[in-house]
Structure 1
């Protein structure tokens, strides 16, 4: 090959298509574009074009169906130490893996691949905080596991206080030291305060949920750059009245207040706090909607069945009062809050619960396997960040 032939070869576009890409700000990762439930039949570049910013703007990412996809998630217990042992269904004896081989397909559009190189680049120097119940902690764990899936030096990702991930942990913060960002979790099942009742109340009142007071730890997370809230599963008889917990507004105990009314009041307190206390020019606020459980029976006698396939009955997704209350409150308060509406997509996934595949002799049709459905919540979270196009996500 003479010099001119070499020069023609060098400037040919084909040679550059074959060279590996590596971001200057992201030197260690090596999986990159192939990560997260890769569709082997459609090239990555085609899927990304389909989910371009223009098409995302008009895309209802929350309405769609689950479709089979012959791919596997990018992490497991050996690659992510932050996935809670009780949620690791494969490690806990689950033999089938079909529940991992489904993709959420919005109607008439596509959502982007969960591009960890892009996400880590955008998160540099920022704080992401998840605030809520154990379902919020599951999403937090999933988000961390996805973001560290291709990091060779696992010790560069660590809990800042050396804490172990447990369901009792009130606060957890995982630092991605090489990329200079932190992903935090704050336990707050109600998003408002729970504590001792005032004096001179009926004996059955052992504690109260103060519907007009935001969670006491608010000062620790209100300065985060991205806030993701959730609440819902603790607004039940078994978590309130059955354990002597009633509702309080001011100094008044509201013994006759229904769960639905109390939930709306608490959401109003939270949304008003967001609007008046959070610096919304700096912080993006999300509320991840309620994800249905798949228990059978009433709250006093619940049955959990191990399922291996999603539900196909669309009528199951029609009536969700938690979601309606959330939408009503956000509209009334008129706060710039993005609802991550994962309610319908999660309602189909009876097969993705931990069920019998958890620790001890418990069965659980409320929590979810990891890897599993929560990974798709985070994929929609990423799509929503891109769709909003605020700050570093523009």
Structure 2
């Protein structure tokens, strides 16, 4: 007697068919349901808006920066007009999504305004103002083909002297995949036609700077905390870091208050806490009184700490501070609780103090706060240059270049590098004091030279919708995301690795 085929046997045996169906259901449907429940997709929003820094005039002193190609301007002792405030209102985070993604991310194929729906007020939607897009896939982050370590024979390499070279692997995120990009940094959103500014990497002389590895960073900071203190350029770096890390995990907003100037995020899988602390002047400051017509100036107490951040740094393992652009406003200065003078104020019976007087004193005080209250790795990031050409920020100045300078090129008048000189002097003085204190490591992230060569990396006219009333407000101070500022986090990680 011939044996029946298997399917015939099943058809003739209902109990066997029922059993087999149950087994197949268990092996396929149940694991899928478990995966869905274990990894839900929840919306996550960011809140980091704050009053952005001023756009300083180009009527300032430009000192050479270790290169004969940098031109020198004479100072002009005239007031610098304060630009309008640029507030960015965003919603807070409500959850955490672990979301591995693949690297690198291709540039979106279409960057025209037709991709975006605008309201009657010309406000365009953005990943910052809505739910975070779902990960493109669930693949692990891949390691760049570029080297991930500096060889032993390159350890003495100066990370801050070098050249920008092409990098076809970048960008590693874009304006469709990163939720932390603010409108005025979203250079592709409002029609920027070129993408080349995203495709360069910093090449120090004598070594290759490894590209930022989000897995390596998060493992290094596991169980630790990091804080950034400064103005909107400092926040610009934080948003770059958030974007780079979003390829591995989205953080949870654990801020203790709705104050958008002080944000705290937790990468729960790594127990890593990231603080953002707003302090554009670094020292105690009072704002102008809107009810007093004569009170038009910020008042800086140059010898007093800004306790909003100095009271928190003893909880941190890493601290990065920076500032500069806000010190071109008209200001009033107090020392020893007494009025000591002003800058661009023209007030009766008040000493007119020179430009940079206030910055020198404020930076010295903030470094003293670190020396007295911090044990860990503290980094002073140097001044971030502006690149206005054809006029100052409020008279049609723009930054329309589409490639980096070579370091042997003559660079047009750029921002005031006297700030950079002051930073070097005050850092060296604080470094000598640091040797007397156990546990503190104070380092300088001297990125000014590298960023001088990147006039192509600012939003310019593509930081907002082009309308007649705002077409002249070009942003040549902040940096596009993705863009040259991502290199700051390449350098940050390398400095952390060196200290470890």
Say yes or no: TM over 0.5. Answer: yes
Which runs of 5 or more structure 1 residues have no equivalent in the other structure?
A: 1-26, 38-42
Cα distance, 1:36 vs structure 2: 9.0
Cα distance, 1:375 vs structure 2: 0.6
Residue 268 of structure 2 aligns with which residue?
177
Residue 251 of structure 1 aligns with which residue?
337
Alpha carbons 1:126, 1:225 under 8 Å: kept: yes
Name the count of aligned residue pairs: 335
RMSD, matched Cα = 2.9
Cα distance, 1:192 vs structure 2: 0.7
1:271-319 Cα shifts (integer Å, max 9, x gaps)? 11111121x2xx2100111010011334763511322112235454898
- TM-score w.r.t. the length of structure 2 is 0.62
Residue 366 of structure 2 aligns with which residue?
270
Cα distance, 1:357 vs structure 2: 1.1
- The alpha-carbon distance between structure 1 residues 206 and 326, as it changes in their structure 2 partners (threshold 3 A), is closer
* Aligned partner of residue 304 in structure 2, secondary structure: strand
- The alpha-carbon distance between structure 1 residues 292 and 196, as it changes in their structure 2 partners (threshold 3 A), is closer
Which runs of 5 or more structure 2 residues have no equivalent in the other structure?
A: 1-97, 107-142, 343-351, 435-440
Alignment partner of 1:337 out of 439, 442, 447:
442
- The alpha-carbon distance between structure 1 residues 163 and 215, as it changes in their structure 2 partners (threshold 3 A), is closer
Cα distance, 1:349 vs structure 2: 0.7
* Aligned partner of residue 380 in structure 1, secondary structure: helix
Q: Is 1:384 the counterpart of 2:491 in the alignment?
A: no
Q: Is 1:159 the counterpart of 2:259 in the alignment?
A: no
Cα distance, 1:56 vs structure 2: 4.8
Alpha carbons 1:62, 1:342 under 8 Å: kept: yes
Alignment partner of 1:147 out of 229, 242, 245:
245
Q: Which has more strand, going by share of residues? A: 1
Alpha carbons 1:232, 1:290 under 8 Å: kept: yes
In the aligned structure 2, how far is the partner of 1:56 from the partner of 1:130?
A: 29
Q: Is 1:89 the counterpart of 2:187 in the alignment?
A: yes
Q: Is 1:100 the counterpart of 2:202 in the alignment?
A: no
In the aligned structure 1, how far is the partner of 2:424 from the partner of 2:294?
A: 36
Alpha carbons 2:388, 2:397 under 8 Å: kept: yes
- The structure that has the greater radius of gyration is 2
Cα distance, 1:28 vs structure 2: 6.9
Q: Is 1:223 the counterpart of 2:315 in the alignment?
A: yes
- TM-score w.r.t. the length of structure 1 is 0.77
- The alpha-carbon distance between structure 1 residues 203 and 262, as it changes in their structure 2 partners (threshold 3 A), is same
In the aligned structure 1, how far is the partner of 2:173 from the partner of 2:146?
A: 24
Residue 384 of structure 2 aligns with which residue?
291
Q: Which has more helix, going by share of residues? A: 1
Alpha carbons 1:36, 1:114 under 8 Å: kept: no
367-376 or 206-215, which moves further after superposition?
206-215
1:106-157 Cα shifts (integer Å, max 9, x gaps)? 1121112312111111111111111000000000010111012244xx4xx2
Residue 397 of structure 2 aligns with which residue?
303
